[in-house]
Amino acid sequence: MPHVMISSKKCTGCHMCELACSAQHEGAYRPSVARLFSECNPTTAAIKGHTCLQTGCSKCQEACPHDAIVTKEITVKVKGEFAGKEKIGGDTVRGYVLVVVDDLCTNCGECYDVCPTGVIHEHPDREVAFKCDLCDGEPQCIAFCQNPHVLAVDLKVDKKDKELAQA
16 is an interface residue for another protein by CB under 8 A:
yes
The distance of closest approach from Cβ of residue 159 to another protein in the complex, given in angstroms and rounded to an integer, is 31
85 is an interface residue for another protein by CB under 8 A:
no
CA–CA gap between residue 71 and residue 74 (Å, rounded): 9
Number of chain residues interacting with another protein (CB under 8 A)? 34
Closer residue to another protein (CB): 30 or 77:
30
The distance of closest approach from Cβ of residue 14 to another protein in the complex, given in angstroms and rounded to an integer, is 4
30 is an interface residue for another protein by CB under 8 A:
yes
- CB atoms under 10 Å from CB of 3, counted, come to 24
15 is an interface residue for another protein by CB under 8 A:
yes
Q: Applying CB under 8 A, which of residues 114, 146, 160, 164 lies at the interface with another protein? A: 146
Three-state DSSP class for residue 97: strand
49 is an interface residue for another protein by CB under 8 A:
no
Q: Are 3 and 142 in contact (CB under 8 A)?
A: no
166 is an interface residue for another protein by CB under 8 A:
no
Q: Residue 32, class by beta-carbon neighbours within 10 Å (0-12 exposed, 13-18 middle, 19+ buried)?
A: exposed
* H or E element that contains 15: none
32 is an interface residue for another protein by CB under 8 A:
yes
* DSSP state at residue 9: T
- Report CA-CA distances (Å) from 33 to 25, 126, 130, 132: 9, 12, 9, 11
117 is an interface residue for another protein by CB under 8 A:
no
122 is an interface residue for another protein by CB under 8 A:
no
Residues that bind another protein (CB under 8 A): 12-16, 19-20, 22-24, 26-32, 40, 42-45, 79-81, 124, 140, 143-144, 146-150
